[in-house]
Amino acid sequence: MRARPRPRRLLRKIEARARMKEEVLAPVGPELRPHQIIMRPLITEKGTHQSTHANHRAYAFKVCRHANKAQIKWAVQELFGVRVEAVRTQQHIGKKRRYRFRVGTMSNWKKAIVKLHPEDRIEFF
């Protein structure tokens, strides 16, 4: 019965964990510019309410599926010149659609809800 693991085994575990972290943190897909990350704003009744209400200050965008939260935050700050407090993302799976006798699927897409600093606003119209 051993009191603690052998040093070699422990070192191998630490190295393996470090490799796994590097793989997870590596960006997926190509390097993107701000106008490639933010595709378009989502103008809906709910989104309009969230953007005009003082407590929410949230704007919804359709974004590139490969972009992460840090890239989305950077892109919004670059394109609109505002300060971003938080970013929430959602993955939308494409729905099945029929055309005559064929069944197809719409493409998957990603939605980002960006919360701004209380003093900042984005004017779309």
Count how many domains the chain has.
Answer: 1
Whether residue 15 has pLDDT greater than 70: yes
Q: What is the mean pLDDT of residues 87-110?
A: 94
In a domain, 39, yes or no: yes
User: How far apart are the C-alpha atoms of 73 and 101, rounded to whole Å?
Assistant: 43
The pair of three-digit structure tokens given for residue 90, joined into one six-digit string: 């959602």
When pLDDT is cut at 50, 70 and 90, the band that residue 24 belongs to is: low
SS3 state of residue 27: coil
Alpha helices in 53-125, H assignment, sequence order: 69-80
Domain hosting residue 69, numbered range? 31-116
User: How far apart are the C-alpha atoms of 49 and 56, rounded to whole Å?
Assistant: 8
How many residues appear in the chain?
125
What CATH number is attached to the domain comprising 87? 3.30.70.330
In a domain, 57, yes or no: yes
In a domain, 60, yes or no: yes
Query: What amino acid is encoded at 29 in this protein?
Result: G
- Name the pTM for this structure: 0.74
In a domain, 51, yes or no: yes
In a domain, 17, yes or no: no
User: How far apart are the C-alpha atoms of 63 and 110, rounded to whole Å?
Assistant: 6
Tens-digit pLDDT profile for residues 48-80: 899 888 888 999 999 999 999 999 999 999 999
In a domain, 36, yes or no: yes
In a domain, 7, yes or no: no
